[in-house]
Structure 1
């Protein structure tokens, strides 16, 4: 039984990527906005917090500083939105872990689109 549990943990962890690995693979989606990066990142954070997780609670979402922008991410960096200032607005690069359900990815993309 112990070997089965260890095997399952190894399989789960093998499917997880670091933020840098996700960034190296390239974004799932890219967006542009006329809003400043801080305003847009704050809006994305608030939209993503509206999504319910199993058990009905709100999703934990964090935001950190990047050079020339912000990174919005969910626990374990499952989904990441990098928001950067550009001339006349900002860009959003949306990254996801491999193997996520489409409905979950679509919820995050919809949250970004509401803020654009």
Structure 2
């Protein structure tokens, strides 16, 4: 991995630490940045996102990811003291799933968001 990528990842975490984060409820109140649908089950999509988020930043080791079972699907949150990113992955009545992506603010480095999109087809 190039040095510039490591520096960018380091910057992301310092900016996040300074800027703070939100609770999952606060993120949901703001509304999703976007919503995606998939033919894959909510469980598979949520597990894929959780796995990719945990290993997205090898410089800092495993990331703090929480995956919870909800009434109609799963919730995956990234953050230590607060939630930086959150997805709510719900089962659709006809099969497949719907993923709502929430973020506290736009980080300078976008290493977590692409995983949300890629997990819709894996």
- Give TM-score, length-normalised by structure 1: 0.76
**How many Å separate the matches in 2 of 1:14 and 1:61?**
19
Q: Shift of residue 112 of structure 1? A: 1.2
More helix by share: 1
The size of the alignment, in residue pairs, is: 101
Closer, same or farther: CA 46–15 of 1 in aligned 2, 3 Å: closer
Deviation at 1:14, TM superposition (A): 8.4
C-alpha distance in 2, partners of 1:115/1:37? 10
Residue segments in structure 1 that go unaligned for 5+ positions in a row? 1-11
Paired residues of 2:46 and 2:76 also in contact (CA < 8 A): yes
Q: Determine if the alignment matches structure 1 residue 31 to structure 2 residue 19.
A: no
> How far off its partner does 1:56 sit?
3.1
1:88 aligns with 2:92: no
TM-score (norm 2): 0.72
Q: Secondary structure at the match of 1:107?
A: coil
Q: Which runs of 4+ in 1 moved over 6 A?
A: none
Compared CA separation, residues 20 and 39, structure 1 to 2 (3 A): same
SS of the residue 2:51 aligns to: helix
CA offsets, 1:64-114, max 9 Å, x none? Answer: 01111000011222110110000221011111113x4142xx322211122
Residue number in structure 2 paired with 1:111: 115
Partner of residue 24, structure 2: 19
